[in-house]
Structure 1
Amino acid sequence: MKIAVAQMRTTAGELERTAERMVELAKKAADEGAQLVVFPAAALMGVWPVDPPSQEGLLLDLAEALVKISEEVPCPCIVPVLSDADGAPAPEAMLVHDGELTPLKLSALLRSSATGQTDKHAGEGLEEDGPAPDLPVFELGGVHFGLAFSFDDLNDFDDYDFDVDVVLYLDGYGFAMDDPSSAMGVSVSDGRFMDDAEATDAWIVGVGSLGTYGTQVFTGSSFVLTPWGELAAQSPSFEEDLLIADVDPELDGPLDHPLNPEVYDRPLVAWNALSQGLAESLSQMGFTQAAVLVDGTLDSSAVATLATDALGPTNVHALLVTGIDDKLDSSARRLAENLRLPVRELPMAALSPDHALAADLAQAHLVALAREEGAMPLSNLDKTALALEVLPGSMPHAGLAPLGDVYRYAVIELVHMRNTISPVISRTSRHAFEVPAIPGIEECGLTAESRLDFVDYVLASHIEWGRPLSDIVDDGGHPQVVSAILDRLASCEPARMSCGPVIVASSRTLEDVAWPLGMMWRDRARTKAERAGEGIGGTISLGDDLDEAIAQATEELGSVAGSHDASKGQQGGEEAGVPATPRDREKDMRDILNLLRDFSLTGGLAADQPEGRSGRHGQGGRPGPGGTPGDSSIWRTFSEN
């Protein structure tokens, strides 16, 4: 079967125009022999639902667009749509075939209910849980298809025995620097999809969305993988494409002419994603120009260069702030010349002898310049600054923060990569960054770069990877510093609320881990004994009847285990001279604590809690092989854990 992937750049909610383009692309694909055309998940409606009062009108207009598509496309198509489930996005896919529209997820759910699958799974308990009851599986032209919207869906296809020939993965995920799989085909050798092909023994068709929806950036790079892991076809990143590939379920391989997977260049893909995100975000806000503050520091140089790449030099207005340091002044002037930016100079001495006040006034001058030029002011704050350096009571930074979801250590990496294209940023600027002023940070590295690496390692461990403070300390040491970093992260929450939007570039943003206002409790590093629950034994009761039942069940299990151990001892233990061991009280307490955590609001009994990528901007599921927070040695140890 010939399958076409219509990798198209759209504007969310532009239903009539997008429907017309879908029909055009379907006709073109059919002319080239395609028997199924698959459109990207975000093409029609983006990745986030509208507010509930607007849903009725949107759905009526969406229905008109779907009817138009069903009446005019010459071949079967998969058209993804988006609905709302209690305020969260609920993706669906319509199978358009012979003038009819079939909602695939809804059909799968109803079919599961009719056959009793949902009730069966509900009664089996967590350990016997099955796949999601709304996981679409359908047949078309003799080929059996499975449909996945998220990594959780792919996990189900991996873990359970589905009779499918092809798995269609509709990416609604967005690019994340810490997850190679989010870059789709360009990182296929580093991500999870080859493992998915092997686990399912099916063709994997990755359908990449393209463009910026909200603040999430999609890079395209659709692909087709064979069950044995060869790359059959791939679309370019950041470009529209009509990808048509022959998918033959009877073929055992190898292909006559497979493609060689690319070497994943994370900094290059990330820079291009941020550039696309900046240009399209400004366009969606009604701007074609930006104003930047250039003072020779690392972040200001990176933002000015990124804006120039995204918008062109004639659309970027630079406010050159001088007087802080002669070398930085020289680097800032040289950068503006290299980028050919129109410049307005602002001496710091003319503002105030108070450095903090002068910096605030410079921000006000940037806003005034932006207003004068009809431009959007850009903030130079990175993720590290937003996490630890925006203090309550400080003046908020106006405008969009292009690097607001990129750690400072990664900004260094991005700038080094950008300079390999053209060396516009000086060595002085590349080293003009500060390590957040955390007590004891001097002990965490011999150089400023290594100390910054440690700070960002702690932040990413907590934010992206959801690790408790004690786990971070166990791996990286320095308990007082780790505690101080996470305390500062919580303390800066009120100031972050007044900062502008960021372009999402990670699996979890600072917004996803917002600390409750007024919460005075802070975590600290715990000993092994504390984490095992010593000192709280006997104080927890679930009620006399449940306590008695649990105690009886525990005793019976202990008796069975004891008998089993005794028989093993008779068979080989006496020869080895290994004495019987008493019950492990520490393990018992750990099991009790785990039970309590399971019953907590965020615990494991919440059936819809995704693994791994669980922020607002992700859809859940494990990142897959190679999903690391960074590339330095300290990150590699962390990623293996």
Structure 2
Amino acid sequence: MKLALAQIDMRLGDIEGTCARIADQAELAARAGANLLCAPVPLFGGMQPTTLVDYPNYENDLVGGLADVARRVEHLGVDCLVPAVVAIEQTPFVEAFLLREGRVLPLRTMFSLRTGRFDVGVWEPAVFDVAGSRVAAVFDLERDMPQLPRGCDVAIYFQMSGFNAYNEETCAVAGVADGHFTEVASQNGVWLACMAPVGAFDETVYTGGSFVMDDSGRVVACSPCFEEDLLIQEVSRGVIVPALDAHELPRFFREEWIWEALRLHVRDTVQASGRARAALALEGDLPSSLLAVLAVDALGPRNVVGVAFERSDVFTPQQEAQERERMECVRQLAANLNIRLVERSQGDISRWMDRDVPARDAGRLRIGIDALYLADVAHEMDACMLSSLTKTDAALAPAAALSSGASLAVDAPFGDVYLTSLEFLARYRMRVSSVLPPSVVTLEAVAERMGLILAHAIMSCREDPVYTERMAQLLATLEPTQIDGALEAHVDRNRVLEELPLYKTSPEGAAILLMLTRRAEMARRALPMIPAVSPRSFGERIWPAMLSWSDLGRHGEEPRTVVDVAREGVKHVESLGEAHSERVRGEILGLLGNLLGLSPEQQEELMSEEGQQRMRENMERFESSLRSMLNSASDGQVPDADAQQAFGSHIRQYPFFSQN
């Protein structure tokens, strides 16, 4: 059997365009002699379709589009395996549509209908025959591979998890060198084909890298990463075929993969907005400068417009020198990237507002006016806006980012990358070409930007001036790496206050960071689209927006869970039962003592531990003697006829002497 993997990138939900593209890929595969063509999972509805899959007309158009493809490729002699997220009994799941002989066959649903097991059948691997080979469609390696029936020749793994910078398996073929996939193929003795998507689908990004691996765990063919490709490979189980050497396989490097994933997201998001250009603010700092480079890599220099604002709040010679240096940095960056630069001067805020503006409000108002300037330039250039906010901004000061125009942006590429990680991204990009001014790729630039973020975050807590001053003093002593380390542990890995790396050196500072993150939840709801490239983005970590609880620690106490409380409740109930049994036993023994004429001393001795032990021993001897007698009676050794009739041959069916 010859297998074809269509690693294509299409506009999310473009059913007509995607179906036409699949038909075109089928024609190319048929010319190369392929028997089966596979398409990626997220083309039609993405991996987070929400209630879209419950919408009847969406399902109607999806099935109709696939039926058109089936009729179009019927004469080619090539089957198509097209997965898509649908709903069955109001439960979303990934269906494997097999297009064969002009018909659309939803394999997993058909299997469920035949077996009558909708709760289990739809989750089992779909197995079918193609050109004499047994093929299985797999969506979860860990769950589905052990369920493969005997005789399977090839398992086609459709990748569903988006790119995660800390999980090499999400990089498809780039994870093979780190030990992923090889053991799965060799242990199960089947060929493994990975159908990896490429491109951005809402917040989820895929990096491509489809591959085919033989039953010994060797990669025999692979597609390039970060671009479209049609991979065709002959599958011959039990036959040794040439394999790629280790140095021929792509290797995973975190900064490179993050950069390329963000580039794909910017490109696809801007195209999905219906525009070809992007406008962004150039502040002369690391985030905005690096965003300009990313936009140029994604869209080209002709499609990027930078907007710079000359600040008017300059009063001292030192401030004037710093402002000239900043603007020179912006102009140098625009010249290096060969992009258009629009410069605007900030006017007098009091004239804009037609009132006397206090100094404490001037900065906030200037940020808002600059955002309107940027939006006006974007409208004039028919461009969409990009935001340079980082994950540190999103955690601590999303309201300030919204004021500076993030609410009008279509994408915030660095929204899932912490500020201190941007320095490593910038250094990686500088190795490709030195387009960034050296002054922005320094620890001082990172520290300056972190100070600005903290200032905005503290401004949102102005209820108590004394408390605000204390917060500022504590946070000023923290290094940027300490702040981002605490946020990464809390947000990405769900660590509590005591488990944060910052807690050992500054427990109050760690608690303040968690409080600020909690308070910013409502503002985060209004942020633009953010590509998810970390173990857990803020799109996945959603807490109640009106929450007032903050993690203040356990103050040295052991952690308590509902299970622990339930165990304590069970123990309490059991102890009550023992106490009740002891009381009843005492009442019964007292009654027996009165009937037998026992003295209070004799009754007390009988209720003691030693007395209870003697009673149990006597009861065991009595029970043993009685059982022997009854067994002898049931075996016919009792001459008494009445005894034989009483106990009979079925005496063993009756229980004697319960534990109570």
TM tier, smaller: 0.7 to 0.9
Does the aligned pair in 1 maintain the 2:389–2:401 contact within 8 Å?
no
CA separation of 1:144/1:472 partners in 2, compared to 1, >3 Å: closer, same or farther? farther
Residue 148 (structure 1) aligns with:
138
- Output the TM-score relative to the length of structure 2: 0.72
Find the counterpart in structure 2 of residue 399 from structure 1: 409
* 1:541 Cα offset (Å): 2.7
- Are 1:422 and 2:422 counterparts? no
Tell me what 1:40 maps to: 40
Counterparts of 1:363 and 1:515, CA distance in 2: 28
Letter of the aligned partner of 1:103 in structure 2?
P
SS state at 2:17 partner: helix
Matched-pair contact (CA < 8 Å) for 2:209–2:224: yes
Deviation (angstroms), 1:98: 3.2
Q: How far has the Cα of 1:516 moved from its partner?
A: 0.8
Structure 1 SS opposite 2:558: helix
**Counterpart position of 1:188:** 176
- 2:142 maps to 1:134: no
User: In the alignment, which of 342, 364, 371 is matched to residue 379 of structure 2?
Assistant: 371
Number of residue pairs the alignment of both structures matches: 528
Deviation readout 1:483-542 (Å, 9 max, x if unpaired)? 2222211111122222222233334321221221222222234477512679x8799536
Aligned-partner residue type, residue 35 of structure 2: Q
Equivalent position of 2:331 in the other structure:
333
- 2-structure distance, mates of 1:103, 1:538: 45
User: Contact 1:279–1:311 at 8 Å: present in 2 too?
Assistant: yes
Q: Name the residue aligned to 1:235.
A: 223
Distance 1:204 1:549, change over 3 A: farther
Helix, strand or coil at the partner of 1:267 = helix
AA at the equivalent of 1:102: L
Residue 76 (1) aligns with residue 79 (2): yes
Q: Which is richer in helix?
A: 2
Which residue is equivalent to 2:94?
A: 91
Q: Which residue, 262, 271, 287 being the options, matches 2:259?
A: 271
Paired AA for residue 435 in structure 2: V
Matches within 5 A, 1:172-571: 172-190=160-178, 192-251=180-239, 253=240, 255=242, 258=245, 260-323=248-311, 325-348=323-346, 354-391=362-399, 395=403, 397=406, 398-400=408-410, 401-431=412-442, 432-433=445-446, 434-435=449-450, 436-437=453-454, 440=474, 451-473=479-501, 478-526=506-554, 530-531=558-559, 540-541=568-569
CA distance in 2, matches of 1:157, 1:133: 8
CA distance in 1, matches of 2:20, 2:401: 51
Q: Distance in 1 between matches of 2:50 and 2:510?
A: 39
- The equivalent residue for 2:604 is none
Q: Closer, same or farther in 2 for the Cα pair 1:546/1:393, shift >3 Å?
A: farther
Q: Return the offset for 1:112.
A: 6.2
Letter of the 1:372 partner, please give it: E
> Within 1, Cα distance between the matches of 2:504 and 2:108?
44
CA distance in 2, matches of 1:542, 1:107: 47
Query: Which range is displaced more, 163-172 or 485-494?
Result: 163-172
Counterpart secondary structure, 1:12: coil
Question: In structure 2, how many angstroms separate the alpha carbons of the residues matched to 1:481 and 1:138?
Answer: 59
Q: Deviations over 1:16-59 (max 9, x none)?
A: 33223322322321222212211111234433437459822122
Look up the match of 2:641: none
> Given that residues 138 and 145 in structure 2 are in contact (C-alpha distance below 8 angstroms), is that contact kept between their aligned partners in structure 1?
no
* Alpha carbons of structure 1 residues 512 and 320: separation in structure 2 relative to 1, 3 Å: same
**Aligned 8 A contact 2:215 2:238 in 1:** no
Question: Any unmatched runs of 5+ in structure 2?
Answer: 312-321, 351-358, 455-470, 580-660
Q: From the superposition, tell whether residues 493 and 475 of structure 1 become closer, same or farther in structure 2 (CA, over 3 Å).
A: closer
Residue aligned with 1:321, SS: strand
Distance 1:527 1:9, change over 3 A: same
8 Å Cα contact 2:15/2:65 also seen in 1: yes
Determine the C-alpha separation between the residues in 2 that align with 1:370 and 1:187: 40
- Counterpart of 1:56, as a letter, is P
Q: CA deviation at 1:385?
A: 0.6
Q: Over aligned residues, Cα RMSD in angstroms?
A: 3.5
1:605 maps to none
Cα gap change, 1:45 to 1:529, in 2 (>3 Å): closer
Of the two structures, which has the highest relative contact order with CA contacts closer than 8 Å and spacing of 6 or more? 1
Q: CA, structure 1 residues 156+347, in 2 after alignment: closer, same or farther (shift >3 Å)?
A: same
Of the two, which has the highest radius of gyration?
Answer: 2
Partner Cα separation in structure 2 for residue 464 and residue 148 of structure 1: 28
Distance 1:387 1:27, change over 3 A: same
Q: Distance in 2 between matches of 1:26 and 1:377?
A: 38
Flag the 1:144–1:305 CA change in 2: closer, same or farther, 3 A: same
Structure 1 letter corresponding to 2:341: V
1:413 maps to amino acid: F
Change (3 A) 1:198 1:480: farther
Whole-angstrom distance in 1 between the partners of 2:136 and 2:504: 42
* Partner Cα distance (2:327, 2:366) in 1: 16
Q: Is the 8 A contact 1:9 1:209 kept in 2?
A: yes
1:59–1:456 CA distance, 2 compared to 1 (3 A): same
Q: Give the Å deviation of 1:78.
A: 0.6
Q: Give the superposition deviation at 1:332.
A: 1.3
Judge conservation of contact 2:286–2:441 (CA < 8 Å) in 1.
yes
> Would the aligned equivalents of 2:52 and 2:58 in 1 still touch at CA under 8 Å?
no
Partner of 1:556: none
Say if 1:109 and 1:135, in contact at 8 Å, map to a contact too. no
Distance 2:53 2:243 in 1: 54
Q: Which moved more, 1:404-413 or 1:16-25?
A: 16-25
AA aligned opposite 2:340: P
CA distance in 2, matches of 1:132, 1:548: 48
Offset from partner CA, 1:95-153 (integer Å, 9 cap, x none):
22333433232244456656x995xxxxxxxxxxxx9843334444443333233xxx2
Rounded to whole Å, the distance in 1 between the matches of 2:88 and 2:146 is 26
Question: Hey, what's the Cα distance between the residues in 1 that align with 2:243 and 2:224?
Answer: 21
Structure 2 match to 1:633: none
- Does the 8 A contact of 2:402 with 2:527 survive in 1? no
Aligned match of 1:639: none
Distance 1:40 1:274, change over 3 A: same
Q: Would the alpha carbon gap of residues 276 and 442 (structure 1) be closer, same or farther in structure 2, given more than 3 Å must change? A: same
Corresponding residue SS for 2:307: strand
Q: Cα distance, 1:466 vs. partner? A: 3.0
What is the percentage of aligned positions where both structures have the same residue?
Answer: 27
- Partners of 2:124 and 2:147 within 8 A in 1: no
1:610 match = none
Describe the shift of the 1:539–1:402 C-alpha distance in structure 2 as closer, same or farther (beyond 3 A): closer
